Amino acid sequence: MRYHQLGTSQIEVSEIALGSWLTYGAGIERDKTEACTRAAFDAGINLFDTANVYGSGAAEAAWGEILKDFVREDYVLATKLYFPMSATDRGLSREQVHKQLDASLERLQTDYIDLYQCHRPDPETPIEETMEALTEVCEAGKVREIGFSEWTVEQIRASLEVPGTRDFVSSQPQYNMIWRAPEAELMPFCAEHGVSQIVWSPLAQGVLTGKYPPGRPPPEGTRAAHDEMSVSISRYMVDPVLEAVQRVAAVAEESGLGMVELALAWVLRTDNVASAIIGASRPEQVHANAQASGVELPVDVLDAVDEALEGVIITKPQLAAFAQEGVKHR
């Protein structure tokens, strides 16, 4: 497993991270969650990414029970806030930053979060208030570093211009060989300002494993066939995309690579990407994903991937689901 410095921070993260969206505390059982977590440690994974909203706190609580058996300094714990936790609790106000962080710390059974992330931008709250609150929790020792997910360049720039506050060190966008929207504006801006990418959905919700044949219903037991875990996979579950993925599978086979290995190595080829978040419901998936760390893809393979995916690649900047443009100032 290779490791990278996270932005301008002193935190080093593994190239492969374990995430808990749609799975731990919700989609799969406690014993499988523990087995996948232990497999991650065995594979050299040190970054564990969750959020307060995953399972309405259940994902954090599940990891709180499991991770307390490990040495706290041996892993990097990342969580998020923004999405509604009740009828009145949502967003990035000073009150919510403090309230949601304390609730996350309690569920995770820890004294501090290594990386506290704004799950989406909040244009209804002054950017100054959000950045000051995040700085307060850092100064209190409850948070080591801060990050964001799916912010626009305008919003990131505004955060950097708030005087006397901590800067973000990480960005968490959707990014994979089909969804390349971050390459247009986000990645160049972040690279210039010392912000690393921790990417989500590097396997396009599992579509880039090649397990979904075009023209057929999803195989039983897969994420796409699961009511709770199939959220947002629909954009990839269309025949033109699935047919293109089969062409990528042929490229992988010719190159002597597995599809998972190819897809993960593809996102990690970019210097600005520090880590790729994978989801797993079985320990063997964790180990298989971890093997992509350190794989270097030759130019001819990268060109072949581009050719195979021609016509289905998303390249222009896209506003993420539930994200909003704009910045509010005091």
Burial of 237 (0-12, 13-18, 19+ CB in 10 A): middle
The partner residues of 13 in beta bridges, in order of sequence, read: 4
Rounded Cα distance between 95 and 327, Å, is 19
Rounded Cα distance between 251 and 41, Å, is 31
By C-alpha distance, which of 211, 273, 295 is closest to 248? 211
Q: How many CA atoms lie within 13 A of 77 on its CB side?
A: 26
Written as six digits, the tokens of 122 are 């909040």
Rounded to 5 degrees, φ, ψ at 8 are -95, 10
Written as six digits, the tokens of 37 are 């977590």
Written as six digits, the tokens of 141 are 């020792």
Which of the following is catalytic: 54, 75, 175, 236? Answer: 54
54 carries an active-site annotation: yes
Which residues are the active-site residues?
54
